[in-house]
Amino acid sequence: MNIIVTGASKGIGKAIAEKYAVEGNTLLICSRGEKSLYDTVNELQTAYPNSIIKGMSCDMANKEEVLVFAEWCLKFGSPDILINNAGQFIPGSIHDEAEGILEQMIQTNLYSAYHLTRALLPAMIQKSAGHIFNICSIASLNAYANGGSYSISKFALLGFSKNLREELKPKGIKVTSVMPGATLSASWDGFDIDPNRIMEVNDVSEMIFAASKLSSMAVVEDIVMRPQLGDL
């Protein structure tokens, strides 16, 4: 299978890529950080030689770069699975966060998925098959302290995902919205977090992998995950 994962050099994205690499798939991954991206490509290719791991540096907040990445992906054929994982978390409050944070969050967390999906959909529709996972957040469901523009962007991403699901029902393409709670990833760097109060990235990748294995007659529309002791 051809599987595209954005923001795959670390955290949830890397865990997802590794989960599919075990099976011997073609993995097309991207990340803004070139060194960390190609370190991940080399690491996964060495560990899983039966898979094909390719990477392209891409700032997913930049529409032009997203479209170049999409064109590159299509050279490998129509995607079987697209995982819109790239995102950014900047905590803050609407009333006092820095100017431009909303635009930054929307570009990174919403427009990235919107533009990449639109560029890849014609090939998927032509094949009448495929599965799109949009990595939203618990912040897509409820307001919370210091959510600010991040939460706004994730609410919008969930709206995008819900509409996409409705549109693609008759076209044979599945859409799943994934809402993870606090997960041990780079988003939490600098925070003093009890590891017993936060999920592991593999928890998220396992759920996505399982949801992608259902028959063509079934789809998991929403995956909501929280730490066992509840939200932070």
Domain ranges of the chain: 2-225
Q: In the structure, what pLDDT confidence band is assigned to residue 191 with cuts at 50, 70 and 90?
A: low
Residues forming beta bridges with residue 135, ordered by sequence position: 178
Does the pLDDT of residue 69 top 80, yes or no?
yes
pLDDT at 197: 86
The residues pairing with 224 across neighbouring beta strands, listed in sequence order, are 179
Residue with tokens 């891409």: 58
What is the radius of gyration, based on Cα positions, of the chain? 17
- The predicted model gives 10-27 an average pLDDT of 97
Strand order in the sheet with 2-5: 52-57, 26-31, 2-5, 81-84, 131-135, 174-180, 222-225
pLDDT at 77: 96
Higher pLDDT, 232 or 20: 20
What pLDDT does residue 132 have?
Answer: 98
Active site members: 150
Topology at the third CATH level for domain 2-225:
Rossmann fold (3.40.50)
Measured in whole angstroms, the distance separating CA 62 from the mean position of its chain's CA atoms is 16
Q: Is the pLDDT of residue 39 over 90?
A: yes
How far, in Å, CA of 203 to CA of 165, rounded? 24
Query: Tokens at residue 50, please?
Result: 């039966």
Confidence at 192, pLDDT banded by 50, 70, 90? confident
- Span 137-146, mean pLDDT? 91
SS3 assignment, position 107 = helix
Is the model's pLDDT at 186 over the cut of 80? no
